[in-house]
Amino acid sequence: MDWYSLSRALLFRLQGETSHELGLDMLGAGERLGLLKYMAPQVAGLPVTVAGIDFPNPVGLAAGLDKNGEYIDAFARLGFGFIEIGTVTPRPQPGNPKPRLFRLPERRAIINRMGFNNKGVDHLVERVKASRFDGVLGINIGKNFDTPVEDAASDYLACLDKVYEHATYITVNISSPNTPGLRNLQFGESLKSLLQPIKERQQQLAAEFGYKPVFVKIAPDMEDDDIVLVAETLIDSGVDGVIATNTTLSRDGVEGVRFGNEAGGLSGAPLEELATETVAALCRALEGKLPVIGVGGILDGEGAVAKMKAGAGLVQIYSGFIYRGPALVGEAVDAIAAHQTSV
């Protein structure tokens, strides 16, 4: 049994959020003590350029694991081609009442209703500045729960102003199911009216700090017609890419399982097929005009390749990391390399 499997076996005896926080603290301590470099597997290089950014490999850490940017150096040690931190909001907020994070190990799944719990954008920026990481860093931004949806742009702009200088790219999260009304921002005039001021501010900040791509993260719970409309709006808005997908409200694949009926977003293996289908539909609708980062249910190398086959240029992992650990990063990179060699 490797060190991660042993740690996971012990951590899984604890309540979901408790083990989550303890696991992160263990990673952070391992890095500070200089131990993680001896424990992390070697990951092969597989350079790729997406949205003008050079990535050392196409496998990244999805937002949500390191909400406050407190473990950047530890995750950097594990071979990720890029790291995305957040979601961060302008003001600190506690998120939804606990318990709000549930493991479904028999389905290799997680349900969470965290609700953008974070220490605020100022804290995150300080942690980024204190890190030693000089690789590709995405910062995922959102709105505070008590900001009306019609005023959401002000929160995104406040975050954008503060993180822009310190990010390689910025992700606009409009797809979490755990902030009331947030997903309404994905459609029609709401999406247009949100992205227009963000693009304008991006251009202003680019004059001072250089151009940083802005991506938009979407949900998997859309019909194909909705995906086409969203794709058209994203192209027209001038954003630089799309991350597909966030967690799902579906409970397909977890029926009858303990915690399967808990409210929140479902991630992990049950999301894989839906997320991959969304990536494929989105790529068809975009017709190559915007790059797509595929995320959702990747638990092995084959899952990473499936997202690439669907049209993604990069992939991200979250729940797969919880269940598989650092070995998944190298496995995914190797599988993508083998796939690229075979086509």
Please say if the pLDDT value at position 1 is more than 90: no
Question: What's the chain look like in SS3?
Answer: CCHHHHHHHHHCCCCHHHHHHHHHHHHHHHHHCCCHHHHCCCCCCCCEEECCEEECCCEEECCCCCCCCCCHHHHHCCCCCEEEEEEECCCCECCCCCCCEEEEHHHCEEEECCCCCECCHHHHHHHHHHCCCCCCEEEEECCCCCCCHHHHHHHHHHHHHHHHHHCCEEEEECCCCCCCCHHHHHCHHHHHHHHHHHHHHHHHHHHHHCCCCEEEEECCCCCHHHHHHHHHHHHHHCCCEEEECCCECCCCCCCCCCCCCCCCEEEEHHHHHHHHHHHHHHHHHHCCCCCEEEECCCCCHHHHHHHHHCCCCEEEECHHHHHHCCHHHHHHHHHHHHHHHHC
Average pLDDT score over residue span 35-54: 95
pLDDT value, residue 2: 83
Give the type of residue at 153.
A
Q: Which of 7-21, 261-275, 291-305 has the lowest mean pLDDT?
A: 7-21
pLDDT value, residue 309: 98
pLDDT value, residue 343: 80
What domain range is 108 assigned to?
3-342
Number of domains in the chain: 1
Q: What CATH code is carried by the domain that includes residue 153?
A: 3.20.20.70
Average pLDDT score over residue span 169-178: 96
Q: Give me the active site residues, please.
A: 176
pLDDT value, residue 41: 86
Q: How does pLDDT run across 104-162, given as a tens digit for each residue? A: 999 999 999 999 999 999 999 999 999 999 999 999 999 999 999 999 999 999 999 99
Tokens for 65, please give them.
């694991």
Please say if the pLDDT value at position 308 is more than 90: yes
Q: Are 274 and 8 in contact (CB under 8 A)?
A: no
Please say if the pLDDT value at position 175 is more than 60: yes
